[in-house]
Amino acid sequence: MDKNIATDDLQLILDKIGPFFIVYKVRQVNSSWIITGALLSEATEQDLTESMKGSDYTIAIRKTQKSLDLFFEKLSDPIRIRLPKISRLHLVLFLATIVTTIFAGSLMAGGSPITSLSDWEKGIPFSFVLMMILGCHESGHYFYARKHKVEASLPYFIPAPTFVGTFGAFIKIKSPIQKRLALLEIGASGPIAGFLVAIPALIWGLAHSTIINMGQDEVGLKLGDSILMKILTWVMFPGLGTGQDILLHPIAFAGWIGLLVTMLNLLPIGQLDGGHIAYAMLGKKFDRIAQISWLALIPMSLFSLNWLVWGLLILFLMKTTKHPPIEHIDAPITTREKWIGAASLAIFILCFIPSPFPS
Protein backbone atom coordinates (compact mmCIF):
# COMPACT_ATOMS: atom_id res chain seq x y z
CA MET A 1 0.00 0.00 0.00
CA ASP A 2 1.25 3.52 -0.83
CA LYS A 3 2.45 5.35 2.25
CA ASN A 4 1.21 8.67 0.85
CA ILE A 5 -1.96 9.79 2.58
CA ALA A 6 -4.89 9.96 0.16
CA THR A 7 -7.51 12.72 0.21
CA ASP A 8 -10.04 10.42 1.88
CA ASP A 9 -7.52 9.78 4.65
CA LEU A 10 -7.06 13.53 5.07
CA GLN A 11 -10.77 13.95 5.70
CA LEU A 12 -10.61 11.30 8.42
CA ILE A 13 -7.75 13.18 10.07
CA LEU A 14 -9.69 16.46 9.93
CA ASP A 15 -12.70 14.76 11.52
CA LYS A 16 -10.54 13.44 14.40
CA ILE A 17 -8.80 16.74 15.20
CA GLY A 18 -11.84 18.92 14.44
CA PRO A 19 -13.15 19.08 18.04
CA PHE A 20 -9.82 20.51 19.24
CA PHE A 21 -8.28 22.40 16.31
CA ILE A 22 -9.09 25.25 13.91
CA VAL A 23 -7.55 24.63 10.47
CA TYR A 24 -5.92 27.55 8.64
CA LYS A 25 -4.06 25.76 5.86
CA VAL A 26 -3.42 22.24 4.53
CA ARG A 27 -0.48 21.25 2.35
CA GLN A 28 1.27 18.03 1.28
CA VAL A 29 5.05 17.58 1.30
CA ASN A 30 6.32 14.26 -0.06
CA SER A 31 4.48 11.58 1.93
CA SER A 32 3.25 13.87 4.72
CA TRP A 33 0.25 16.13 5.24
CA ILE A 34 1.02 19.36 7.12
CA ILE A 35 -1.97 21.06 8.72
CA THR A 36 -1.48 24.59 10.09
CA GLY A 37 -3.93 26.07 12.61
CA ALA A 38 -4.62 26.78 16.25
CA LEU A 39 -6.03 24.99 19.27
CA LEU A 40 -9.57 25.75 20.40
CA SER A 41 -9.80 27.68 23.66
CA GLU A 42 -9.88 24.76 26.11
CA ALA A 43 -8.04 22.16 23.98
CA THR A 44 -4.46 20.97 24.54
CA GLU A 45 -1.77 19.33 22.44
CA GLN A 46 -2.39 16.18 24.45
CA ASP A 47 -5.97 16.15 23.12
CA LEU A 48 -4.61 16.11 19.55
CA THR A 49 -2.23 13.26 20.33
CA GLU A 50 -4.97 11.26 22.05
CA SER A 51 -7.37 11.82 19.14
CA MET A 52 -4.99 10.02 16.75
CA LYS A 53 -4.39 6.97 18.96
CA GLY A 54 -5.59 3.76 17.38
CA SER A 55 -5.54 5.33 13.90
CA ASP A 56 -3.28 4.52 10.97
CA TYR A 57 -1.39 7.82 11.25
CA THR A 58 1.41 9.34 13.28
CA ILE A 59 1.19 12.93 14.46
CA ALA A 60 4.02 15.34 15.23
CA ILE A 61 3.38 18.89 16.54
CA ARG A 62 5.56 21.93 15.98
CA LYS A 63 4.88 25.34 17.51
CA THR A 64 5.38 28.52 15.50
CA GLN A 65 4.94 32.13 16.66
CA LYS A 66 1.27 32.39 15.71
CA SER A 67 0.10 28.82 15.06
CA LEU A 68 0.74 25.09 15.28
CA ASP A 69 1.95 22.85 12.48
CA LEU A 70 0.67 19.28 12.63
CA PHE A 71 2.58 16.65 10.63
CA PHE A 72 0.76 13.44 9.68
CA GLU A 73 2.27 10.32 8.10
CA LYS A 74 0.66 7.01 7.21
CA LEU A 75 1.93 4.08 9.24
CA SER A 76 3.58 1.28 7.29
CA ASP A 77 1.48 -1.80 6.72
CA PRO A 78 2.16 -4.35 9.46
CA ILE A 79 4.52 -7.17 8.53
CA ARG A 80 2.59 -10.40 8.47
CA ILE A 81 4.63 -13.57 8.82
CA ARG A 82 2.82 -16.67 7.69
CA LEU A 83 4.55 -19.73 9.02
CA PRO A 84 4.53 -22.57 6.51
CA LYS A 85 2.93 -25.85 7.44
CA ILE A 86 5.55 -28.49 8.20
CA SER A 87 4.49 -31.87 6.84
CA ARG A 88 5.17 -35.14 8.62
CA LEU A 89 7.50 -36.16 5.79
CA HIS A 90 9.62 -33.01 6.21
CA LEU A 91 9.87 -33.59 9.95
CA VAL A 92 10.74 -37.30 9.66
CA LEU A 93 13.43 -36.66 7.04
CA PHE A 94 14.88 -33.78 9.05
CA LEU A 95 15.08 -35.81 12.28
CA ALA A 96 16.43 -38.86 10.44
CA THR A 97 19.17 -36.74 8.85
CA ILE A 98 20.13 -35.37 12.25
CA VAL A 99 20.52 -38.96 13.49
CA THR A 100 22.56 -40.13 10.49
CA THR A 101 24.85 -37.09 10.53
CA ILE A 102 25.44 -37.41 14.28
CA PHE A 103 26.29 -41.09 13.71
CA ALA A 104 28.72 -40.15 10.93
CA GLY A 105 30.22 -37.35 13.00
CA SER A 106 30.75 -39.67 15.94
CA LEU A 107 32.67 -42.14 13.77
CA MET A 108 34.68 -39.25 12.38
CA ALA A 109 35.61 -38.10 15.88
CA GLY A 110 36.85 -41.58 16.79
CA GLY A 111 33.71 -42.67 18.60
CA SER A 112 31.87 -45.98 18.49
CA PRO A 113 28.17 -45.02 18.39
CA ILE A 114 27.04 -48.62 17.88
CA THR A 115 28.54 -49.89 21.13
CA SER A 116 28.56 -46.69 23.21
CA LEU A 117 25.61 -44.33 23.58
CA SER A 118 27.86 -41.69 25.12
CA ASP A 119 29.88 -41.55 21.88
CA TRP A 120 26.87 -40.11 20.05
CA GLU A 121 27.68 -36.82 21.72
CA LYS A 122 30.93 -36.66 19.76
CA GLY A 123 28.98 -36.40 16.48
CA ILE A 124 26.83 -33.42 17.48
CA PRO A 125 29.26 -30.63 16.40
CA PHE A 126 29.69 -32.10 12.91
CA SER A 127 25.95 -32.69 12.52
CA PHE A 128 25.01 -29.22 13.75
CA VAL A 129 27.39 -27.41 11.40
CA LEU A 130 26.56 -29.53 8.35
CA MET A 131 22.81 -29.19 8.94
CA MET A 132 23.26 -25.44 9.35
CA ILE A 133 25.10 -25.17 6.04
CA LEU A 134 22.55 -27.29 4.17
CA GLY A 135 19.64 -25.61 5.92
CA CYS A 136 20.86 -22.07 5.19
CA HIS A 137 21.54 -23.02 1.57
CA GLU A 138 18.01 -24.31 1.00
CA SER A 139 16.41 -21.60 3.13
CA GLY A 140 18.05 -19.00 0.91
CA HIS A 141 16.24 -20.52 -2.07
CA TYR A 142 13.00 -20.79 -0.11
CA PHE A 143 12.89 -17.21 1.18
CA TYR A 144 13.74 -15.68 -2.18
CA ALA A 145 11.10 -17.86 -3.82
CA ARG A 146 8.61 -16.44 -1.31
CA LYS A 147 9.89 -12.92 -2.01
CA HIS A 148 9.17 -13.34 -5.73
CA LYS A 149 5.83 -15.07 -5.07
CA VAL A 150 7.07 -18.39 -6.45
CA GLU A 151 5.51 -21.38 -4.72
CA ALA A 152 8.15 -23.61 -3.15
CA SER A 153 8.30 -26.40 -0.60
CA LEU A 154 10.24 -26.35 2.63
CA PRO A 155 13.63 -28.09 2.42
CA TYR A 156 13.67 -31.87 2.19
CA PHE A 157 16.73 -33.32 3.96
CA ILE A 158 18.00 -36.68 2.70
CA PRO A 159 19.45 -39.07 5.29
CA ALA A 160 21.94 -41.57 3.93
CA PRO A 161 24.29 -44.32 5.20
CA THR A 162 27.36 -42.48 3.90
CA PHE A 163 30.50 -41.19 5.61
CA VAL A 164 28.80 -37.76 6.00
CA GLY A 165 25.35 -39.15 6.84
CA THR A 166 23.37 -37.35 4.14
CA PHE A 167 22.90 -36.84 0.42
CA GLY A 168 22.12 -33.16 1.05
CA ALA A 169 18.83 -31.31 0.84
CA PHE A 170 16.57 -29.75 -1.78
CA ILE A 171 13.40 -27.71 -2.21
CA LYS A 172 10.71 -28.22 -4.84
CA ILE A 173 9.70 -25.25 -6.98
CA LYS A 174 5.97 -25.73 -7.54
CA SER A 175 5.16 -22.80 -9.84
CA PRO A 176 6.91 -21.27 -12.87
CA ILE A 177 9.58 -18.62 -12.38
CA GLN A 178 8.49 -15.80 -14.70
CA LYS A 179 11.14 -13.07 -14.28
CA ARG A 180 14.88 -13.09 -14.79
CA LEU A 181 15.67 -11.31 -11.51
CA ALA A 182 13.58 -13.87 -9.64
CA LEU A 183 15.44 -16.74 -11.34
CA LEU A 184 18.80 -15.14 -10.58
CA GLU A 185 18.05 -14.35 -6.93
CA ILE A 186 16.44 -17.72 -6.22
CA GLY A 187 19.38 -19.53 -7.84
CA ALA A 188 22.14 -17.47 -6.20
CA SER A 189 20.71 -17.07 -2.70
CA GLY A 190 21.28 -20.72 -1.74
CA PRO A 191 24.99 -21.01 -2.61
CA ILE A 192 25.73 -17.58 -1.17
CA ALA A 193 23.95 -18.36 2.12
CA GLY A 194 25.61 -21.77 2.45
CA PHE A 195 29.02 -20.30 1.59
CA LEU A 196 28.69 -17.61 4.27
CA VAL A 197 27.99 -20.26 6.91
CA ALA A 198 30.69 -22.66 5.68
CA ILE A 199 33.52 -20.09 5.86
CA PRO A 200 33.49 -19.41 9.64
CA ALA A 201 32.95 -23.13 10.30
CA LEU A 202 35.97 -23.97 8.16
CA ILE A 203 38.15 -21.33 9.85
CA TRP A 204 37.17 -22.47 13.37
CA GLY A 205 37.62 -26.10 12.42
CA LEU A 206 41.05 -25.50 10.89
CA ALA A 207 42.14 -23.70 14.06
CA HIS A 208 41.31 -26.89 15.97
CA SER A 209 42.75 -29.34 13.42
CA THR A 210 45.93 -31.38 13.84
CA ILE A 211 49.14 -31.47 11.81
CA ILE A 212 50.24 -35.01 10.97
CA ASN A 213 53.28 -36.50 9.24
CA MET A 214 52.42 -38.03 5.89
CA GLY A 215 53.23 -41.73 5.58
CA GLN A 216 53.72 -42.78 9.19
CA ASP A 217 50.75 -40.91 10.76
CA GLU A 218 48.53 -40.84 7.68
CA VAL A 219 44.91 -41.65 8.57
CA GLY A 220 41.45 -40.93 7.22
CA LEU A 221 40.23 -39.85 3.80
CA LYS A 222 42.39 -37.81 1.45
CA LEU A 223 40.61 -34.58 0.43
CA GLY A 224 41.22 -32.26 -2.50
CA ASP A 225 41.91 -28.56 -2.06
CA SER A 226 40.05 -25.56 -3.43
CA ILE A 227 41.69 -22.15 -3.91
CA LEU A 228 40.00 -20.96 -0.73
CA MET A 229 41.19 -24.00 1.22
CA LYS A 230 44.76 -23.44 0.05
CA ILE A 231 44.59 -19.76 1.08
CA LEU A 232 43.24 -20.59 4.55
CA THR A 233 45.82 -23.37 5.00
CA TRP A 234 48.64 -21.02 4.01
CA VAL A 235 47.42 -18.32 6.41
CA MET A 236 46.69 -20.60 9.39
CA PHE A 237 49.54 -23.11 8.96
CA PRO A 238 52.45 -21.03 7.57
CA GLY A 239 55.05 -23.53 8.79
CA LEU A 240 53.44 -26.63 7.24
CA GLY A 241 56.20 -28.79 5.80
CA THR A 242 56.19 -30.72 2.54
CA GLY A 243 55.98 -34.01 4.40
CA GLN A 244 53.10 -32.88 6.57
CA ASP A 245 49.34 -32.68 6.17
CA ILE A 246 46.33 -31.53 8.19
CA LEU A 247 43.94 -33.92 9.91
CA LEU A 248 40.71 -31.94 9.80
CA HIS A 249 38.58 -31.40 12.86
CA PRO A 250 35.00 -32.65 12.18
CA ILE A 251 33.74 -29.04 12.04
CA ALA A 252 36.41 -28.18 9.46
CA PHE A 253 35.32 -31.23 7.47
CA ALA A 254 31.70 -30.02 7.63
CA GLY A 255 32.91 -26.66 6.28
CA TRP A 256 34.83 -28.45 3.51
CA ILE A 257 31.68 -30.40 2.60
CA GLY A 258 29.85 -27.05 2.49
CA LEU A 259 32.35 -25.73 -0.06
CA LEU A 260 32.02 -28.93 -2.11
CA VAL A 261 28.21 -28.74 -2.12
CA THR A 262 28.37 -25.06 -3.10
CA MET A 263 30.77 -25.79 -5.96
CA LEU A 264 28.76 -28.71 -7.35
CA ASN A 265 25.52 -26.73 -7.23
CA LEU A 266 27.13 -23.78 -9.03
CA LEU A 267 28.04 -25.82 -12.12
CA PRO A 268 26.33 -24.03 -15.06
CA ILE A 269 24.24 -27.01 -16.12
CA GLY A 270 20.49 -27.52 -16.45
CA GLN A 271 18.47 -26.56 -13.39
CA LEU A 272 21.32 -26.64 -10.91
CA ASP A 273 21.76 -23.36 -9.03
CA GLY A 274 24.56 -22.49 -11.43
CA GLY A 275 22.24 -23.30 -14.33
CA HIS A 276 19.66 -20.80 -13.04
CA ILE A 277 22.32 -18.13 -12.60
CA ALA A 278 24.09 -18.72 -15.93
CA TYR A 279 20.81 -18.84 -17.88
CA ALA A 280 19.69 -15.58 -16.27
CA MET A 281 23.01 -13.94 -17.18
CA LEU A 282 23.66 -15.47 -20.62
CA GLY A 283 20.19 -15.98 -22.03
CA LYS A 284 20.08 -18.08 -25.19
CA LYS A 285 23.87 -18.53 -25.13
CA PHE A 286 23.44 -20.71 -22.04
CA ASP A 287 22.57 -23.94 -23.90
CA ARG A 288 26.02 -24.18 -25.49
CA ILE A 289 27.78 -23.34 -22.20
CA ALA A 290 25.75 -26.02 -20.39
CA GLN A 291 26.61 -28.68 -22.98
CA ILE A 292 30.33 -27.83 -22.82
CA SER A 293 30.24 -27.84 -19.01
CA TRP A 294 28.63 -31.27 -18.89
CA LEU A 295 31.01 -32.74 -21.48
CA ALA A 296 33.95 -31.32 -19.49
CA LEU A 297 32.99 -33.62 -16.61
CA ILE A 298 34.09 -36.64 -18.69
CA PRO A 299 37.82 -35.78 -18.95
CA MET A 300 37.71 -34.43 -15.38
CA SER A 301 36.68 -37.91 -14.23
CA LEU A 302 40.24 -39.01 -15.08
CA PHE A 303 41.34 -37.01 -12.02
CA SER A 304 38.42 -38.12 -9.85
CA LEU A 305 35.58 -40.55 -10.62
CA ASN A 306 33.28 -38.29 -8.59
CA TRP A 307 32.87 -36.07 -11.66
CA LEU A 308 31.56 -38.97 -13.75
CA VAL A 309 29.12 -39.95 -11.01
CA TRP A 310 27.92 -36.36 -10.69
CA GLY A 311 27.54 -35.98 -14.46
CA LEU A 312 25.52 -39.20 -14.78
CA LEU A 313 23.36 -38.16 -11.81
CA ILE A 314 22.62 -34.80 -13.45
CA LEU A 315 21.64 -36.52 -16.70
CA PHE A 316 19.48 -39.07 -14.86
CA LEU A 317 17.61 -36.50 -12.77
CA MET A 318 17.30 -33.63 -15.27
CA LYS A 319 17.28 -35.53 -18.59
CA THR A 320 18.81 -32.47 -20.30
CA THR A 321 21.44 -29.78 -19.81
CA LYS A 322 19.05 -27.07 -21.05
CA HIS A 323 17.10 -24.66 -18.89
CA PRO A 324 13.32 -24.03 -19.20
CA PRO A 325 12.69 -20.67 -20.92
CA ILE A 326 11.50 -17.55 -19.12
CA GLU A 327 10.17 -14.25 -20.48
CA HIS A 328 12.45 -11.40 -21.63
CA ILE A 329 15.60 -13.42 -20.98
CA ASP A 330 17.62 -11.34 -23.48
CA ALA A 331 16.69 -7.95 -22.00
CA PRO A 332 19.66 -5.77 -20.90
CA ILE A 333 21.24 -6.93 -17.64
CA THR A 334 20.99 -4.50 -14.72
CA THR A 335 23.88 -3.53 -12.46
CA ARG A 336 22.31 -5.46 -9.57
CA GLU A 337 22.10 -8.59 -11.69
CA LYS A 338 25.73 -8.19 -12.76
CA TRP A 339 26.85 -8.00 -9.12
CA ILE A 340 24.90 -11.14 -8.22
CA GLY A 341 26.36 -13.00 -11.18
CA ALA A 342 29.89 -11.82 -10.38
CA ALA A 343 29.57 -12.85 -6.72
CA SER A 344 28.32 -16.30 -7.72
CA LEU A 345 31.19 -16.76 -10.18
CA ALA A 346 33.74 -15.67 -7.56
CA ILE A 347 32.34 -18.17 -5.05
CA PHE A 348 32.44 -20.95 -7.66
CA ILE A 349 36.10 -20.21 -8.46
CA LEU A 350 37.08 -20.06 -4.79
CA CYS A 351 35.28 -23.33 -4.01
CA PHE A 352 36.28 -25.30 -7.13
CA ILE A 353 38.03 -28.57 -6.25
CA PRO A 354 39.55 -30.30 -9.32
CA SER A 355 39.76 -33.65 -7.52
CA PRO A 356 37.47 -33.76 -4.46
CA PHE A 357 38.52 -37.26 -3.36
CA PRO A 358 41.87 -38.07 -4.97
CA SER A 359 42.85 -41.74 -4.93
Q: Which residues lie closer than 8 Å to 277 by C-beta, 6 or more apart? A: 184, 187, 188, 266, 268, 340, 341, 344
- Note the pLDDT tens digit of each residue in 116-140: 999 999 999 999 999 999 999 999 9
Segment 315-331, tens digit of pLDDT: 888 888 899 888 878 77
Average of per-residue pLDDT across 133-161 = 93
- Structural element, H or E, at residue 21: strand 21-29
pLDDT, residue 226, reads 93
| DSSP-based three-state secondary structure for 242 | coil
End-to-end CA distance of the chain: 60
- The per-residue pLDDT for 2 is 45
* Average pLDDT, rounded, for the chain: 88
pTM: 0.75
- Exposure letters 297-306 (e unless 16+ CB within 10 A, then b): beebbeebeb
Contact 130, 101 (CB under 8 A): yes
pLDDT at 1 over 50: no
If pLDDT is split at 50, 70 and 90, which confidence band does 15 have?
Answer: confident
Mean pLDDT across 288-317: 89
pLDDT at 303 over 80: yes
Hey, is 273 helix, strand or coil? helix
Q: At what angle do helices 124-147 and 180-207 cross, to 10 degrees?
A: 160
Query: What's the confidence (pLDDT) of residue 66?
Result: 83
Alpha-carbon distance of 329 to 318, in angstroms, equals 21
Of the CA atoms within 13 Å of residue 110, those in its CB half-sphere come to 4
Report pLDDT for 16. Answer: 87
pLDDT of residue 3: 43
Q: Could you give the 3-state DSSP secondary structure of residue 339?
A: helix
**Between residues 154 and 240, the one the model is more confident about:** 154
Span of 6-20, 179-193, 298-312 with lowest mean pLDDT? 6-20
Tell me what pLDDT residue 119 has.
92
- Second CATH level (architecture) for the domain 7-74: 2-Layer Sandwich (3.30)
User: Residue 335, CB half-sphere, CA atoms under 13 Å: how many?
Assistant: 0
The span from the CA of 185 to the CA of 192, in Å, is 10
pLDDT value at 5 more than 70: no
Query: What is the domain partition of the chain in residue ranges?
Result: 7-74, 88-351
Specify the pLDDT at position 6. Answer: 60
What is the tens place of the pLDDT at every residue in 254-277?
Answer: 999 999 999 999 999 999 999 999
By mean pLDDT, which of 3-12, 134-143, 144-153, 280-289 is the weakest?
3-12
pLDDT value, residue 80: 59
Mean pLDDT of 224-247: 90
